[in-house]
Amino acid sequence: MKKHIVVLTGAGISAESGIKTFRDADGLWEGHDVMEVATPEGFERNPELVLDFYNQRRRQLNEVEPNQAHKDLVTLERDYNVSIITQNVDDLHERAGSSNVIHLHGELRKIRSSKNENDIKVWNEDLHLGDNCKQGHQLRPHIVWFGEAVPMIETAMDVCKQADILVIIGTSMQVYPAAGLMDYAPADTPIFYIDPKPAIGSGGQIKVIPKSATEGTVDLLNILHKNG
């Protein structure tokens, strides 16, 4: 029976592929106030701006590739049962080859009806005002905006409860509800935390690897290999 590794990933793992994060720039995401482009109220006020913003993010996704950290997590699947829970809305984990990815905050390559959150479809083109679902409602990005419920959080909690090893990469662990997920791992679960500016210190079952994602996953693979 393979051990179950649960990996929590945040913006830090995608940053090395060239995807900018709004937390790097005082609440601005690609020059926009997040309250304008990542809230239901912003969408209500200026839907065209919001749709255009995500069209640009979707196009940007076509110009970047998974980095070595994404690929290293795929290699773990040879010896472990691996579940990835990501706060990222890109598809770099999937493109690298990871087979079990849970997106907490939605996905850039999906859209949904603005009135029916379960009416979701894959979408790789630009999305415009007037693109409607079959019921005639405007389609919107399938992104969990600030102030909205996180539909996959309970699934993520259940997965964390099954962790034999927990790995946290490139996330400050300050944004809830995602930040609370590590508390759902069984009490004696080894935790590896990879981040160049770690928000927590080593101690107990937590081992901090104060490196970037691509450097830190190399250390992680070496440690896991040594420990068998």
Catalytic residues: 105
- For the chain, report the end-to-end CA distance as a whole number of angstroms: 13
Rounded Cα distance, 85 and 102, in Å: 5
Amino acid sitting at position 49: L
Q: Exposed, middle or buried: residue 210 (CB in 10 Å: 0-12, 13-18, 19+)?
A: middle
Check: CB of residue 9 under 8 Å from CB of residue 173. Answer: no
Rounded Cα distance, 81 and 174, in Å: 27
109's tokens:
């390559």
Burial track 56-73 (b if 16+ CB lie within 10 A, e otherwise):
ebbeebeeeebbebbbbb
Amino acid sitting at position 50: V
Rounded Cα distance, 35 and 165, in Å: 36
